């Protein structure tokens, strides 16, 4: 969940006069880091995943599955586990931990939801293909260790969204009534928020800055018996405790939608993220750009969250829910009122898809950055004056249009240019689908890293490992062949919307680049050959056709498994296969890797289901489902039990497993 400073946080009104100062200091720290680290070379490939878990508590008497709010106790228990300490130290932590090399035991972290846990490998994985085979066992170990430190009726579940978060009645263990002073939500109690002061402050300050509660409306899935038109019956219009209670009287809840009104609906969702280190800054910028168009594709392929607040929705993914859940833009910034107090009209939430490419590779054409973005020009000038190039300065100047949301008074008093706290304050609350991570200041050991952030967490560790391994192999393939996946960034944004649609993985098409090999030109015999030097034609040179000719709409099956015909897109999996053929890899490793790639292949061609489809079908075929889109507590209990079984490997080979992995 990014940076967790300790200290005295300021309310939004107190923080407001300091935001420019924090930003300026953040830019000074960034420039300092960049100057020190821009020449860093030969960092090795290290990488790691982050998996988030829901902690579920069963009440066997009432056959109910609830969210357990014991995150802190579980982390404390993990911290005091002597056996784990001996094994290299599980470091359950509120703070950022720098994993020590050789630390074999996973690391557990707190997350936004008091019902969540995050776990990472104890130390990043190394860069060999054999290292990839340690991923799934590591993930399985994390799940086992987490479970060992929970109560008998508790279990970790890797489900992206808890189906009954925010339903009227009991959905947490213990129960707390909703409508507390921090989130002021009609549906969730403040007690679901991690009590570490950063999180309630973040929640309250987003609300205060915005001037109303966040508004999250997700289209309901109309089933046979769903009331049409659907007006979310869980919304109370007659509360007068807080000014924000007027939101719903002012139309916050949209017809035909499930309405949610708190940060926890988004930040309480679980995801799978991958961070990897590049050999230098330029390689990191290349990978940032090249993986950017993959964000929406992998979101659709990993889709796992069709249910929110007890209703089946018509979307399959969490992304837009989180985006709206932390949208701190004022009415002015959303373009609803003329600019007066604020500086910019901003089209996107601070949690949204990437809006600008940053690499200086020859394959980049300026036309790909086809979206005009807001920038903090005075701060950009400082970066340019400090020697930073335009595309990178633009990237950071774009992040720095946002205000810091949580300001600690200690951090204001003690400014240290050799730290990165002010920089991270802005950086880590810009939740874009890729993150460009500079080395933390002063730490020579850590290089330039890129984070891939769009994926939903999968029900099984086999799937989580497969998705992680796929992304890592893709980065190796991109670098090895100099692949070019650029499409105009506006098309990535459009793809992100498409990815949310129900069953987008099989039913929709996405913009994707047709010719991904480095620039080719026709030789005299008319055959295409790769140009021998890496000097591509200069951007926009006349021999390059219009950008619109470079991409087309493809299904995910075509993107992954290829198109037929000699001119068809070869498919990412065959590119990865070629890469694997070109390197020295023992048979055993190759066979094991094939298992994981096969998941991607079969998910893409519809042989195996997404978790979203599996969950949707599970609910719709449950005997207690009334075909009215509602997921009642009995269905929820059975669903969570089934998900737990799958996650723990117990379901392997059963009908459950077949439901997910064998379409009949
Ligand atoms: P955040 O929450 O800010 O994204 P985390 O520390 O939770 O970051 O997770 C980062 C991931 O990056 C972990 O899986 C960790 O193992 C991995 N990692 C740590 N150090 C490096 C490094 N030098 N290079 C690449 N990955 C790293
Ligand atoms: Mg996390
Ligand atoms: Mg993390
Ligand atoms: Mg984080
Ligand atoms: Mg995170
Ligand atoms: Mg992360």
CA 27 / ligand 1 centre spacing (Å): 23
3-state helix, strand, coil in the chain (%, to 5): 40, 15, 50
- Does ligand 1 come within 6 angstroms of the Cβ of 2? yes
CA–CA separation, 601 and 613 (whole Å): 17
List the Cα angle 533/536/538 in 5-degree steps: 140
- Does ligand 1 come within 6 angstroms of the Cβ of 49? yes
For residue 308 the two structure tokens come to 């929110």
Label residue 664 by pLDDT band (50, 70, 90): low
The DSSP-derived string for 345-395 is: --SS-SEE---------TT--GGG--S-----HHHHHHHHHTT--HHHHHH
| pLDDT at residue 6, rounded to an integer | 66
- Does ligand 1 come within 6 angstroms of the Cβ of 475? no
Q: Is the pLDDT of residue 2 over 80?
A: no
| Mean pLDDT on 527-532 | 41
Q: What is the pLDDT of residues 604-643, one digit of tens each?
A: 999 999 999 999 999 999 999 999 999 999 999 999 999 9
Label residue 441 by pLDDT band (50, 70, 90): confident
| pLDDT at residue 21, rounded to an integer | 97
For residue 109 the two structure tokens come to 């972290």
Which ligand minimizes its atom distance to the CA of 49?
A: 1
CA 168 / ligand 3 centre spacing (Å): 31
| pLDDT at residue 347, rounded to an integer | 97
CB-based burial, 313-337: b 16+ in 10 Å, e otherwise? bbbbbbbbbbbbbbbbbbebbeeee
Q: Is the pLDDT of residue 531 over 70?
A: no
| pLDDT at residue 520, rounded to an integer | 56
Which residues are within 5 Å of ligand 3 (an ion), measured at CB? 50
- Does ligand 1 come within 6 angstroms of the Cβ of 438? no
Fold of 505-525+544-661: Helicase, Ruva Protein; domain 3 (1.10.8)
- Output the residue whose Cα is nearest ligand 1's atom 3: 2
Q: What is the pLDDT of residues 25-73, one digit of tens each?
A: 999 999 999 999 999 888 789 999 999 999 999 999 999 999 999 999 9
Fold of 12-473: Creatine Kinase; Chain A, domain 2 (3.30.590)
- Evaluate whether 12-473 and 505-525+544-661 have a shared fold: no
The residue behind tokens 């989580």 is: 464
Which ligand minimizes its atom distance to the CA of 53?
A: 2
CA–CA separation, 471 and 459 (whole Å): 18
Cis-peptide, bond into residue 420, ω within 30° of zero:
no
Atom of ligand 1 nearest to the CA of 428: 3
- Does ligand 1 come within 6 angstroms of the Cβ of 456? no
| Mean pLDDT on 6-13 | 89
The residue behind tokens 């490992």 is: 465
Where are the chain's structural domains? 12-473, 505-525+544-661
CB 519 within 8 A of CB 531: yes
Atom of ligand 1 nearest to the CA of 1: 2
Of the two residues 187 and 88, the one the predictor is more confident about is 187
Mean residue pLDDT across the chain: 92
Task: Please state, in angstroms and as integers, the Cα–Cα distance from residue 413 to each residue in 13, 17, 478, following that order.
Answer: 18, 14, 45
- Output the residue whose Cα is nearest ligand 1's atom 19: 124
- Output the residue whose Cα is nearest ligand 1's atom 11: 48
First to last CA, the chain: 39
The DSSP-derived string for 61-108 is: TTTEEEEE--HHHHHHHHHT-HHHHHTT----BSS---PPTT--S-EE
| pLDDT at residue 79, rounded to an integer | 86
CA 437 / ligand 1 centre spacing (Å): 10
Q: What is the pLDDT of residues 239-273, one digit of tens each?
A: 999 999 999 999 999 999 999 999 999 999 999 99
| pLDDT at residue 662, rounded to an integer | 84
- Output the residue whose Cα is nearest ligand 1's atom 1: 2
| Mean pLDDT on 381-409 | 97
Atom of ligand 1 nearest to the CA of 118: 7
Atom of ligand 1 nearest to the CA of 3: 3
Label residue 90 by pLDDT band (50, 70, 90): low
| pLDDT at residue 524, rounded to an integer | 37
CA–CA separation, 504 and 561 (whole Å): 16
CB 274 within 8 A of CB 217: no
Q: What is the pLDDT of residues 566-600, one digit of tens each?
A: 889 999 999 999 999 999 899 999 999 999 999 99
- Output the residue whose Cα is nearest ligand 1's atom 7: 50
CA 50 / ligand 3 centre spacing (Å): 6
Q: Is the pLDDT of residue 86 over 90?
A: no
CA 90 / ligand 2 centre spacing (Å): 17
| pLDDT at residue 526, rounded to an integer | 37
- Does ligand 1 come within 6 angstroms of the Cβ of 111? no
| pLDDT at residue 81, rounded to an integer | 82
CA 318 / ligand 5 centre spacing (Å): 14
- Does ligand 1 come within 6 angstroms of the Cβ of 43? no
| pLDDT at residue 565, rounded to an integer | 87
Strand partners, 308: 311
């Amino acid at each position: 969940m990014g940076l967790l400073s300790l200290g005295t946080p300021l309310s939004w009104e107190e923080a407001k006069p300091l935001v420019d100062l924090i930003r300026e200091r953040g830019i000074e720290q960034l420039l300092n880091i960049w100057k020190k680290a821009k020449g860093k070379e030969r960092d090795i490939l290290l990488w790691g995943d982050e998996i988030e878990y829901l902690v579920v508590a069963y009440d066997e008497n009432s056959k109910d599955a609830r969210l357990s709010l014991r995150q802190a106790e579980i982390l404390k228990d993990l911290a005091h586990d002597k056996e784990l300490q001996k094994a290299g130290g599980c470091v359950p932590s509120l703070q950022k931990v720098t994993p020590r090399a050789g630390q074999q035991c996973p690391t557990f972290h707190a997350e936004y939801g008091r019902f969540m846990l995050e776990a990472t490998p104890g130390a990043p994985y190394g860069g060999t293909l054999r290292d990839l085979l340690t991923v799934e066992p590591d993930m399985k170990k994390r799940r086992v260790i987490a479970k060992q430190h929970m109560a008998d009726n508790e279990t970790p579940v890797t489900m992206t969204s808890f189906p009954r978060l925010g339903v009227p009645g009991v959905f947490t263990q213990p129960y707390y009534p909703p409508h507390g002073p921090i989130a002021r939500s009609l549906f969730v109690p403040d007690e679901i928020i991690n009590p570490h002061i950063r999180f309630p402050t973040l929640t309250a300050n987003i609300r205060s800055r915005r001037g109303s509660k966040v508004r999250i409306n997700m289209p309901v899935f109309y089933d046979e018996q769903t009331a049409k038109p659907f007006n979310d019956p869980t919304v109370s219009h007659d509360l007068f405790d807080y000014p924000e209670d007027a939101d719903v009287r002012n139309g916050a809840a949209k017809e035909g939608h499930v309405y949610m009104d708190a940060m926890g609906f988004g930040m309480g969702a679980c995801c799978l993220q991958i961070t990897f280190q590049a050999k230098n800054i330029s390689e990191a910028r290349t990978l940032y750009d090249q993986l950017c168009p993959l964000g929406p594709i992998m979101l659709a392929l990993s889709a796992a969250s069709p249910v929110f607040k007890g209703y089946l929705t018509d979307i399959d993914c969490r992304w837009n829910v989180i985006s709206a859940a932390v949208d701190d833009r004022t009415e002015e910034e959303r373009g609803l009122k003329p600019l007066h107090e604020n500086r910019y009209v901003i089209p996107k939430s601070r949690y949204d898809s990437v809006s600008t490419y940053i690499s200086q590779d020859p394959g980049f054409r300026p036309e790909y950055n086809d979206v005009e973005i807001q920038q903090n020009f005075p701060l950009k000038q400082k970066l340019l004056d400090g020697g930073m190039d335009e595309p990178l300065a633009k990237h950071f100047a774009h992040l720095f249009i946002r205000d810091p949301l949580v300001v600690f008074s200690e951090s204001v008093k003690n400014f240290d240019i050799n730290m990165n706290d002010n920089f991270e304050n802005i950086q880590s609350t810009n939740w874009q689908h890729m993150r460009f991570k500079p080395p933390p200041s002063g730490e020579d050991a850590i290089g330039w890293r890129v984070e891939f952030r769009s994926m939903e967490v999968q029900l099984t560790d086999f799937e989580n490992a497969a998705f992680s391994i796929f992304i890592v192999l893709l980065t190796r393939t991109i670098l090895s062949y100099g692949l070019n996946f650029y499409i105009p960034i506006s098309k990535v944004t459009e793809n992100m919307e498409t990815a949310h649609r129900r069953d987008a993985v099989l039913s929709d098409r996405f913009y994707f680049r047709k010719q991904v090999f480095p620039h080719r030109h026709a030789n005299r015999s008319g055959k295409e050959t790769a140009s021998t030097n890496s000097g591509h034609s200069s951007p926009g040179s006349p021999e390059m056709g219009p950008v619109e000719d470079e991409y087309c709409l493809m299904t995910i099956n075509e993107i992954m498994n290829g198109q037929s015909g000699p001119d068809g897109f070869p498919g990412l999996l065959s590119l990865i296969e070629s890469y694997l053929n070109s390197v020295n890899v023992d048979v055993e490793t190759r066979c094991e890797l094939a298992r994981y790639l096969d998941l991607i292949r079969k998910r893409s061609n519809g042989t195996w289901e997404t978790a979203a489809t599996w969950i949707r079908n599970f609910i719709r075929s449950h005997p207690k489902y009334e075909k009215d889109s509602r997921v009642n507590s009995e269905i929820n209990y059975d669903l969570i039990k089934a998900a737990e079984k799958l996650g723990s490997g117990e379901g392997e080979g059963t009908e459950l497993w077949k439901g997910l992995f064998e379409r009949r």
